Amino acid sequence: MTRMSKLHNLSYLLLYLCGSWFGVAHAQLPPPVAQALAKAGVPEAGVGIYVHEIGAAEPLVAHRADQPLNPASVMKLVTTYAGLELLGPAHQWSTDVYTEGVMLQDVLVGNLIIKGGGDPKFTIENFWLLLRNLRAKGIREIRGDVLLDRSLFATDHPDPGRFDGEPTQPYNTTPDPLLANFKTFTLTFAPNADGRGVRINVDPPLPKVEIINNLALGEGACGNWITRIKTQVQDTGDAARVTFAGPYARACGEQVNYYSLLGHRDYVGGLFQHLWRDLGGVFNGRVRDGDVNANSVKLVSQRSLALSEIVRDINKFSNNVMARQLLLSIGATAGATAGTTGGAGAAPERGARAVQQFFASRGLPMPQLVLENGSGLSRIERVSARDLGQMLQAAFRSAVMPEFIASMPLVGVDGTMYRRLTNTGVAGQAHIKTGLIAGVRAMAGYVLDAKGRRVAVVMLINHANSHNGNAVQDALLRWVHAR
């Protein structure tokens, strides 16, 4: 055999080997990914990977791709894609105010009813606008009660601390048809101007939340300041007391932390009274649950942002309660379309059935999909890497593709990926949703590779050493981009 023939044979061998990586699905992992897994202490059996170029006949990598695994917050991609398809990108929620009373000059004699429509982002600003429009109707005083109609969703909320024993963490906030301001309080800590203590400001300043401040101003570095503070919370749902004790370093300056306190009824009721008073309104009645009826007359409404904007908050910032609101809304408003029973009192199970039936109707059966609340804040939610990857391919061919892709964090630029892979070729070239809970690191999304090809990428790590998984994810994203 001539030297030239040997070179030709070697070339064919290299082409064959390259084809085996880039043209045919392989259970064997790309070497950089295998090396990163070994360094992270994660066995190859602890990960599911699916990589598929859009439009290609076969995936590039399919490693344990059919194993159902916990996706953590990557499950939000399932919820938001189904929501965009079933409800439409322009879908809006409405929070409405009704009355059964009569107007006597500027006095409403009778009850006021606020009906929750499930708005995932009904902020303080939106609540203020709703009540300002009510004042613009000429109502100054309400001589009756304020009833909160929270009948759209099932309201038997689970314990907010059930997931990890942290009921006051905002990420554990439970959904509600009248979710207001994510049921969250912003606490601002700062040294007093006279240098003799620490002040704590609460927003919104609701009377049912009491702050006991036993903090001592001291010297030294700030560091992880919140871990040095001893916090004790007593929250009965209708009232809360939070006690802070321990050192607060002068070097910390102003710091902010967030807490989820009170039940939904008392939070919304307290916020209503606070905002109504600020608008010059008068109200001395009670705030209680109650429903709109046939005699109720609508006074004003407040429309939400469009779903195309809501999904950006859900995915870019991994907002759990917004995702949970969306799944419940799918069950409540798209149930008939999906072949389930619509109506009031929608529970997560109804939304999950609607999502499953939607995928089946599109030729995307996902028998291994387990949806508990649609946010990924769950120990039982499951999906396989292949099912997620095939969903991403279907979404890319969908009319809602622009809204769906734009909702994901852009690597090295924004959202939960803004610090990842900066100053690399992947930065700005991949839309990736990540997820993490104890024992789980996951990612899924799209990579635009160096030759302009769009590739769907999924990696689900379920292992005790998953906390080392970011480097493994980065290795796969680099490999896909540079292939």
Angle at 120 between CA 116 and CA 121, to 5 degrees: 100
Mean pLDDT computed over every residue of the chain: 92
Mean pLDDT calculated for residue range 12-22: 40
AA letter at 49: I
pLDDT by residue (tens digit) across 155-179?
Answer: 666 688 889 999 999 999 999 999 9
End-to-end CA distance of the chain: 33
β-bridge pairing 184-191 and 209-218: unpaired
pLDDT value, residue 481? 98
CATH numeric code, 94-156+264-303: 3.50.80.20
CA 372, CA 357: separation in Å to the nearest integer? 16
CB-based contacts of 256: which residues, under 8 Å, 6+ apart? Answer: 186, 187, 188, 189
The secondary structure of residue 284, as a DSSP letter, is -
CA 144, CA 115: separation in Å to the nearest integer? 16
Class of domain 23-90+307-482: alpha beta
Mean pLDDT calculated for residue range 5-32: 51
| Tokens representing residue 316 in the block | 């870019």
Given a cut of 70, is residue 6 above it in pLDDT?
no
pLDDT by residue (tens digit) across 55-113?
Answer: 999 999 999 999 999 999 999 999 999 999 999 999 999 999 999 999 999 999 999 99
β-bridge pairing 230-235 and 282-283: unpaired
Out of 1-15, 241-255, 260-274, which region has the weakest mean confidence (pLDDT)?
1-15
Closest CA to 393 of 306, 312, 456, 315: 456
- Indicate whether this model's pTM tops 0.85: yes
pLDDT by residue (tens digit) across 190-199?
Answer: 999 888 899 9
The 3-class secondary structure across 446-480, one letter per residue, is EEECCCCCEEEEEEEEECCCHHHHHHHHHHHHHHH
CA 334, CA 113: separation in Å to the nearest integer? 25
pLDDT by residue (tens digit) across 205-256?
Answer: 999 999 999 999 999 999 999 999 999 999 999 999 999 999 999 999 999 9
pLDDT value, residue 195? 84
pLDDT value, residue 157? 65
pLDDT value, residue 483? 85
pLDDT by residue (tens digit) across 290-333?
Answer: 999 999 999 999 999 999 999 999 999 999 999 999 999 999 98
Res. 19 pLDDT band, cuts 50 70 90 = very low
**Domain limits, the chain:** 23-90+307-482, 94-156+264-303, 170-260
CA 88, CA 73: separation in Å to the nearest integer? 22
Question: Left, alpha or beta for 182 (phi > 0: left; psi -120 to 50: alpha)?
Answer: left
pLDDT by residue (tens digit) across 394-427?
Answer: 999 999 999 999 999 999 999 999 999 999 999 9
